[in-house]
Amino acid sequence: MKKITIAIDGHSSCGKSTMAKDLARQIGYIYIDSGAMYRCCTLFCMQQGLINADGSIQEEAFEQRMSEIHVSFRLNAETGRPDTYLNNICVEREIRTMEVSSHVSPVAALPFVRAAMTAQQQEMGREGGIVMDGRDIGTAVFPHAEMKVFVTASDEVRAQRRYDELQAKGEPCDFQQILENLRERDRIDSTRAVAPLRKADDALVLDNSNLTIDQQNAWLLEQFHKIAG
């Protein structure tokens, strides 16, 4: 059977990664978390002192150093899931902190960052057989993807899910701060000039506010079988 390309886009913390990962595992496709790539760019800026105290970014210096950023994914045998590596160092935990979340959307809005990451993502998906999740996968990265899904859920449900996830990892977090962060990221992601977050015209829509993980996975698998045949 020909392997297709699957693009899963949507708002912050709506469970896209969970459903994309599970689908990829079930159908034997590669899973790529494009958000992790933007988070790596953000972590790099933080480590190199390219973010000022007021949150502004030293854009010129950052652009000159963009070629120093190499993101890769390697399967973690223990969790059965891919871990994210920045320049060969595992940063899976570091990129998920609130500090990275608070800087990532302005970093991801920079045109030179998007150009570099989009090129890497297109290269990763050149042969199909890939599930990629993010904000612009069905619109800008793979506009010809055979299967596109746009996921959303209510703000409160999304904030609660992210809160539970951080709590489970033992990361310090505050519900109100998470809610504000995801609203602010959605605003920046949807209004930026290059590849803003929006539903592709041909995307299926899934509001998973009231669905369990099993229910959403079953829905996604059913759509896959309808499309891939």
Closer CB to ligand CDP, residue 112 or residue 222? 112
Angle at 218 between CA 212 and CA 223, to 5 degrees: 130
User: If binding is defined by CB under 6 A, does position 4 make contact with ligand CDP?
Assistant: no
CA angle, 192 then 195 then 198, to 5°: 85
**Residue 108 or 179 with smaller CB distance to ligand CDP:** 108
Residue 127: how many CB atoms within 10 A of its CB? 9
Would you count residue 35 as binding ligand CDP (CB under 6 A)?
yes
Minimum Å distance from CB 123 to ligand CDP? 15
Return d(Cα 82, Cα 75) in angstroms, integer.
4
Crossing angle, helix 16-27 and helix 213-228, to 10 degrees?
Answer: 50
- Report the nearest approach of ligand CDP to the CB of residue 154 (Å): 14
- By CB under 6 A, is residue 62 in contact with ligand CDP? no
> Would you count residue 12 as binding ligand CDP (CB under 6 A)?
yes
Does residue 185 interact with ligand CDP by CB under 6 A? yes
Q: Which position among 105, 152, 208, 216 is part of the footprint of ligand CDP (CB under 6 A)?
A: 105
Nearest to 194 by CA among 132, 124, 135: 135
Single-letter amino acid code for the residue at 87: N
Which positions lie near ligand CDP, rule CB under 6 A? 12-13, 17, 34-35, 38-39, 104-105, 108, 134-137, 185, 189
